[in-house]
C-alpha cells in the first residue's frame, strides 16, 4: 500500500460477504475536500442493498457507511484552515458539481453529477473519510454525535419531504412502517403540527408508536386494513423498502392528497390511472435533502427534542450489527463507534 495516510476500515470483498478488516491509503485531497476522523457512523438499510449489490453499482472491496460524524483533520487548498477540529457530519452525498442549475438553486441532492459517499468510493465504516467540505455539515453542540449520525440519512430522508409539504396543523400524515425511517417521520410530522397515523404489519409496535407521538395505529393484518382508512390522510410517507399495495394507500388519501415514497421498494409501482384522477391525487419520490435542508433539520431537531432510537456497537462488531438489521431486529438504528 502506498500513501502517507493509511485508513483502517471494514470492507466486503465480494457480494453479500461478511466485512473484514481492510486498510487503504487516503487519496490526495482536492481543493474543496476535507479529511474527517470518524467517531461514529450509522448503519442504514441502503448499506445492505449496496453490500448485496442490489442496485448493480457496487464495486469490491467495498467499505459501506454514509451516516458519518467526526472531526476535520485536514483540508484542501480552498477550505479554511480554521475548520480543522470542527465536528461535522456527512450523509449520503459527499459532493456535487456545484455549477448546474440544481446546485445553484440549492438542490445539490438533485445534481446529475452528485457523488455518493460510499458508491464508487469508500465510506464510513472506517477511521477516516474524505468528502467535499461543502457537504461536511457542522453539527449543533446540543446534538450528541451518536444521535447525529442517523439524522444525516434517515432523518433528512423523512424531514425533507415533510418540510416541503408545508403541513397544516389540522392535517393528517400517514407513515407506513415504524422502523429506522418511520420512527423519525412520526416525530417530525407530529412536531410540524399534524396528526399522525402509523400503518404497520407489527401490532406489537403500537405502544411505541403512540409513545413517540402517533395518534392512530393501523395494523395491516387484513386485506382491507388500508381501505378502512379511506380518505383520511393528506400525505402518506412510505418508509419501508418493500413492495406495497399502492392503490390501497392512494385510497387512504384525501382529495389532493399525495403518496411520497422514500423507502427503496423493489420492482415496479403500478397504479390504475383512475385512482390518481379521482380526487386529484399524486405519487412521487423524495431523494435525501440538500445541505441547507440538513442544517434546517438539525435546528428543528434541537428545537423540538427529536432524537433517533439507537443501538450502539463498537466498529469491530459491525457484522453483528448488520446481522440484526438483516433479521429485522434492530430498534431502530444502529450506530458504530470508533474506540479511541
- Cell representation of residue 218: 393501523
Asked if 336 and 47 touch (Cβ cutoff 8 Å), the reply is no
What is the C-alpha to C-alpha distance for residues 217 and 265, in angstroms, rounded to an integer? 22
- What secondary structure does DSSP assign to 263-286, as a single string? S---S-----HHHHHTTT-EEEE-
264, 333: one domain: no
195, 274: one domain: yes
Asked if 3 and 25 touch (Cβ cutoff 8 Å), the reply is yes
168 falls within a domain? yes
- Cell representation of residue 206: 403500537
- What secondary structure does DSSP assign to 152-170, as a single string? IIIIHHHHHHHHHTT--TT
**pTM for this one?**
0.95
32, 71: one domain: yes
290 falls within a domain? no
Whether 339 shows a pLDDT value over 90: the answer reads no
SS3 content of the chain, % helix, strand, coil (to 5): 30, 30, 45
pLDDT one-digit tens code per residue, 118-130:
999 999 999 999 9
pLDDT one-digit tens code per residue, 269-281:
989 999 999 999 9
Strand partners, 41: 68, 336
206, 175: one domain: yes
Residue carrying C-alpha cell 434492530:
330
304 falls within a domain? no
Q: What is the mean pLDDT of residues 174-197?
A: 97
- CATH code for the domain in which residue 130 is found: 3.90.180.10
pLDDT one-digit tens code per residue, 20-39:
999 999 999 999 999 999 99
277, 324: one domain: no
* Torsion angles phi and psi, residue 202, rounded to 5: -110, 100
Asked if 275 and 251 touch (Cβ cutoff 8 Å), the reply is yes
- CATH code for the domain in which residue 241 is found: 3.40.50.720
Strand partners, 22: 9
Whether 225 shows a pLDDT value over 90: the answer reads no
Side-chain-side CA neighbours of residue 250 (13 Å): 19
160, 50: one domain: no
82, 188: one domain: no
193, 270: one domain: yes
pLDDT one-digit tens code per residue, 280-295:
999 999 999 999 999 9
DSSP classification of residue 151: I
46 falls within a domain? yes
Q: What is the mean pLDDT of residues 78-105?
A: 97
pLDDT one-digit tens code per residue, 143-155:
999 999 999 999 9
Domain that holds residue 191: 156-285
What is the C-alpha to C-alpha distance for residues 207 and 211, in angstroms, rounded to an integer? 6
Number of domains in the chain: 2
Q: What is the mean pLDDT of residues 98-103?
A: 98
296 falls within a domain? no
Asked if 182 and 198 touch (Cβ cutoff 8 Å), the reply is yes
Please tell me the predicted confidence (pLDDT) of residue 222.
59
Amino acid at each position: 500500500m502506498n500513501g502517507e495516510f493509511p485508513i483502517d476500515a471494514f470492507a466486503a470483498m465480494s457480494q453479500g460477504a461478511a466485512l473484514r478488516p481492510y486498510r487503504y491509503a487516503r487519496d490526495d485531497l482536492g481543493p474543496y475536500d476535507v479529511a474527517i476522523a470518524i467517531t461514529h457512523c450509522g448503519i442504514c438499510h441502503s448499506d445492505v442493498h449496496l453490500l448485496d449489490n442490489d442496485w448493480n453499482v457496487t464495486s469490491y472491496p467495498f467499505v459501506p457507511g454514509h451516516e458519518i460524524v467526526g472531526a476535520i483533520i485536514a483540508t484542501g487548498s480552498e477550505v479554511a484552515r480554521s475548520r480543522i477540529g470542527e465536528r461535522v457530519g456527512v450523509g449520503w452525498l459527499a459532493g456535487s458539481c456545484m455549477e448546474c442549475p440544481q446546485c445553484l438553486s440549492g438542490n445539490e441532492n438533485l445534481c446529475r453529477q452528485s457523488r455518493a459517499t460510499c458508491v464508487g468510493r469508500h465510506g464510513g465504516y472506517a477511521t477516516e473519510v474524505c468528502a467535499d467540505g461543502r457537504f461536511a455539515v457542522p453539527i449543533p453542540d446540543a446534538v450528541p454525535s451518536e444521535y447525529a449520525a442517523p439524522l444525516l440519512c434517515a432523518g433528512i430522508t423523512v424531514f425533507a419531504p415533510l418540510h416541503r409539504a408545508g403541513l397544516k396543523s389540522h392535517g393528517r400524515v400517514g407513515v407506513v412502517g415504524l422502523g429506522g425511517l418511520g420512527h423519525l417521520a412520526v416525530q417530525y410530522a407530529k412536531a410540524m403540527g399534524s396528526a399522525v397515523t402509523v400503518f404497520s404489519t407489527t401490532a406489537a409496535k403500537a405502544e411505541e408508536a403512540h409513545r413517540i407521538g402517533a395518534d392512530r395505529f393501523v395494523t395491516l393484518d387484513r386485506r382491507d386494513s388500508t381501505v378502512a382508512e379511506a380518505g383520511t390522510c393528506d400525505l402518506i410517507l412510505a418508509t419501508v423498502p418493500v413492495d406495497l399495495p399502492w392503490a390501497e394507500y392512494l385510497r387512504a388519501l384525501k382529495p389532493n392528497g399525495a403518496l411520497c415514497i422514500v423507502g427503496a421498494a423493489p420492482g415496479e409501482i403500478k397504479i390504475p390511472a383512475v385512482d390518481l384522477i379521482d380526487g386529484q391525487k399524486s405519487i412521487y419520490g423524495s431523494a435525501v435533502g440538500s445541505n441547507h435542508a440538513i442544517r434546517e433539520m438539525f435546528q428543528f431537531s434541537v428545537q423540538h427534542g427529536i432524537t433517533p432510537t439507537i443501538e450502539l456497537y463498537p466498529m469491530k462488531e459491525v457484522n453483528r450489527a448488520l446481522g440484526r438489521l438483516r433479521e429485522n431486529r434492530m430498534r431502530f438504528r444502529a450506530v458504530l463507534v470508533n474506540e479511541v
